């Protein structure tokens, strides 16, 4: 996925809602960028705003004064974009947000009693209401809430690619609930007709939606504010994000000239002597908002009768039927979806799954996999895998009105504890297909992961690479080795070759290498390079996809002095730079992991036997080395990261006792060594 700023015109109100601070909107900056990239945009935008101002003045005296005027109902769809965290807010929080939104626009909010007496006569019931759609664009049953596990929950600047889940904006108000926006920003929206329909909507942080769940009453009016922008309201001090600086006008007849207020100063009168400003307006930053004016209501109604942004279509009777507001669909079948707790596990190790299904109340869940020992019928299932290799997991959800299922190939099961390790890994990717049951990559949700290629190779004709020029993954992706059995070794060497180019000198894509010998519970870092260091002299290449020449490969060699006598996996983790932009293509080839067996007294080494009792242990370990002539020995207790916790030296004694009660429960390693031998044994403290 390549993320470029949309090169047409963007007029966006980006509103940061932070108590007791000056909020920031990106409107002015966005407009200047628009004008720079589209010379005709300034005239077009000014014409739109001037036309709206003129229409508002005529509408104020007529449309709003008509007590029998129509109520405008707008179909709404919430797109919850998440990565399985707290941003995946529950339906109840969405329903709460809809209640607040409708109350605010109907002047039914309880805090209208706090409106200053001078503004109560013009506080408006806007006659605009909002309803969750009950039909999707294809006419299928819906509850107006969609859920998408996707990295675009981390938004920055407005970008066309963020709106990938868009429903037609001439039929629905699209609201994207996300995890992150630009720093200090709570949400933003577009004026009608200023962006293509494919980008027309509202983006808002999950913790500014409603007043419950991850949100609070403090942030609960943020959505009201953003919908005001979507219906052509500016901040009441004008079309900028600089409150408190210069007196300005929003083009609405009954909102006093104001500088804008960033705190609840109800006596503010900084622009016109004796004229109190409308600090309690929803389009303020005062944090005590509780009203729209009648003039603002008329301006929003004018927007809903305008062709700009097709706002004149969303509330029509035909569209209310098409979106299920009239004659709603109520008997919906659920849509299946889930989030996985981990993508790598081991044989006989349970994996948990989080149900993320939506669209209806679910009566039954069924989790299954051909590689698992049994199914699960819990909402958040747990499966234990008995077969190693790639595994797919199926979730089926159902209720009285139907069922749906989803299958994801997101798990790789390591063959830990089955003696599947090999004494040496030598892989040039020439003869084996990739991925396979020995070599595998993680399963990125977005973009491509490691793939076999014959574009280039350090040796032979094939390597594996990440297409980071045309389809960068935007998430860290991993390459896992087969199980490696480390036996009777003092030295271990991990060697591999890479080729990488930046696109710009600031790109800081990173490669890390880890190992684990506890089934992925702990990963130990042994290699970490990024940016120009990883490129190792290869110049940045902006215009073309990087294909390395023979002299552009770098050989890396990592010596390890300690590894246990256990099956071990190595993981190569590649992470793109999402701050400065991704680099170019990345290649890896000729991965070799080799034991270096000691040469002294090899026969003695083979006959020596390390005995540990009891194992598991809770207080003391009694350890002895059988089959070795007495001499000085060093006994070490080592944790899974390789840190020595206890060291004891004995002279002419082949046994000792280690006190372990002070250590946490878990897996540890006992190493005994002298100038002739080294033995390692796994121990468990319980």
Angle, in degrees to the nearest 10, between helices 27-37 and 41-62: 130
- Catalytic residue, chosen from 32, 46, 87, 226, is 226
Residue 609 backbone dihedrals phi, psi, to 5 degrees: -140, 120
Q: Nearest-CA neighbor of 21 among 314, 263, 302?
A: 263
How far is the C-alpha of 297 from the C-alpha of 252, rounded, in Å? 10
Angle (CA) 454-594-443 rounded to 5° is 45
How far is the C-alpha of 508 from the C-alpha of 534, rounded, in Å? 9
How far is the C-alpha of 576 from the C-alpha of 583, rounded, in Å? 7
How far is the C-alpha of 345 from the C-alpha of 349, rounded, in Å? 6
How far is the C-alpha of 529 from the C-alpha of 235, rounded, in Å? 47
**DSSP-derived pairing of the beta strands 524-530 and 586-597:** unpaired
Q: Note the Cα 612 to chain centre separation in Å.
A: 46
Residue carrying the six token digits 């999950």: 206
Q: Note the Cα 675 to chain centre separation in Å.
A: 52
**Cβ within 8 Å of residue 602, ≥6 positions away:** none
573 among known catalytic residues: no
Handedness of CA 34, 36, 38, 41 (dihedral sign): positive
**Cβ within 8 Å of residue 634, ≥6 positions away:** 647, 648, 649, 672, 673, 674
Residue 340 backbone dihedrals phi, psi, to 5 degrees: -95, 145
Which residues have a catalytic role annotated?
Answer: 226
């Amino acid at each position: 996925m390549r993320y470029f700023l949309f090169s047409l015109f963007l007029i966006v109100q980006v509103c940061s809602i932070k108590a007791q601070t000056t909020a920031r909107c990106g409107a002015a900056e966005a407009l200047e960028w628009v004008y720079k990239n589209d010379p005709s945009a300034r005239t077009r935008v000014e014409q739109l705003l001037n036309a709206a101002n003129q229409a508002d003045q005529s509408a104020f005296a007529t449309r709003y004064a008509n007590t029998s005027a129509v109520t405008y109902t707008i179909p709404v769809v919430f797109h919850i974009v998440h990565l399985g965290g707290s941003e995946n807010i529950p339906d109840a929080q969405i329903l709460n947000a809809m209640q607040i939104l409708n109350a605010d626009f109907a002047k039914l909010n309880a805090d209208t009693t706090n409106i200053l007496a001078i503004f109560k006569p013009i506080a408006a019931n806007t006659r605009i209401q909002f309803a969750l759609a009950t039909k999707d664009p294809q006419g299928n049953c819906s509850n107006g809430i969609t859920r998408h596990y996707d990295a675009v929950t981390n938004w920055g600047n407005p970008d066309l690619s963020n709106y990938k889940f868009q429903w037609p904006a001439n039929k629905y108000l699209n609201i994207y609930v996300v995890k992150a926006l630009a720093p200090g920003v709570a949400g933003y929206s577009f004026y009608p007709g200023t962006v293509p329909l494919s980008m027309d909507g509202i983006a808002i942080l999950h913790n500014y939606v409603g007043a419950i769940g991850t949100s609070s009453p403090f942030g609960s009016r943020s959505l009201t504010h953003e919908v005001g922008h979507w219906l052509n309201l500016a901040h009441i001090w004008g079309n900028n994000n600089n409150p408190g600086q210069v007196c300005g006008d929003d083009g609405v007849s009954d909102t006093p000239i104001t500088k804008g207020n960033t705190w609840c100063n109800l006596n503010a009168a900084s622009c016109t002597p004796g004229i109190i400003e409308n600090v309690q307006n929803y389009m303020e930053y005062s944090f005590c908002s509780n009203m729209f004016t009648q003039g603002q209501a008329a301006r929003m109604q004018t927007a809903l009768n305008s062709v700009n942004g097709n706002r004149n279509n969303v509330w029509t009777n035909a569209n209310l039927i098409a979106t299920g507001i009239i004659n709603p669909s109520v008997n919906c079948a659920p849509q299946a979806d889930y989030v996985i707790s981990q993508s790598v596990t081991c044989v006989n190790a349970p994996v948990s799954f989080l149900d993320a299904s939506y669209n209806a109340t679910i009566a039954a869940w069924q989790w299954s996999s051909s590689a698992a020992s049994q199914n699960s019928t819990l909402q958040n299932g747990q499966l234990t895998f008995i077969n190693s290799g790639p595994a797919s997991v199926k979730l089926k959800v159902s209720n009285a009105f139907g069922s749906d299922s989803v299958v994801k190939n997101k798990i790789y099961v390591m063959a830990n504890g089955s003696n599947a390790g090999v004494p040496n890994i030598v892989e040039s990717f020439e003869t084996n297909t990739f991925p396979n049951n020995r070599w595998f990559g993680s399963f990125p949700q977005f973009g491509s992961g490691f793939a076999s290629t014959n574009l280039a190779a350090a040796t032979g004709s094939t390597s594996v690479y990440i297409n980071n020029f045309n389809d960068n993954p935007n998430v860290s992706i991993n390459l896992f080795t087969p199980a490696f059995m480390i036996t009777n070794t003092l030295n271990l060497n991990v060697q591999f070759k890479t080729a990488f180019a930046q696109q710009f000198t600031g790109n800081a894509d990173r490669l890390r290498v880890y190992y684990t010998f506890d089934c992925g519970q702990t990963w130990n870092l042994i290699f970490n390079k990024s940016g120009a260091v990883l490129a190792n002299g290869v110049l940045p290449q902006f215009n073309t996809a990087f294909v390395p020449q023979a002299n552009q490969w770098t050989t890396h060699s990592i010596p390890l002095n300690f590894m246990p006598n256990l099956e071990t996996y190595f993981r190569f983790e590649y992470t793109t730079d999402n701050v400065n932009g991704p680099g170019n293509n990345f290649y890896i080839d000729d991965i070799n992991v080799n034991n270096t067996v000691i040469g002294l007294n090899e026969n003695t080494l083979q006959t020596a036997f390390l005995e540990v009792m009891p194992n598991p242990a809770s207080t003391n370990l009694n350890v002895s080395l059988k089959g070795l002539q007495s001499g000085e020995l060093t006994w070490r207790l080592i944790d899974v990261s390789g840190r020595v916790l206890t060291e004891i030296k004995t002279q002419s004694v082949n046994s000792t006792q280690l006190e372990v009660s002070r250590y946490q429960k878990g897996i540890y390693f006992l190493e005994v060594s002298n100038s002739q031998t080294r033995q390692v044994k796994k121990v468990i403290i319980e």
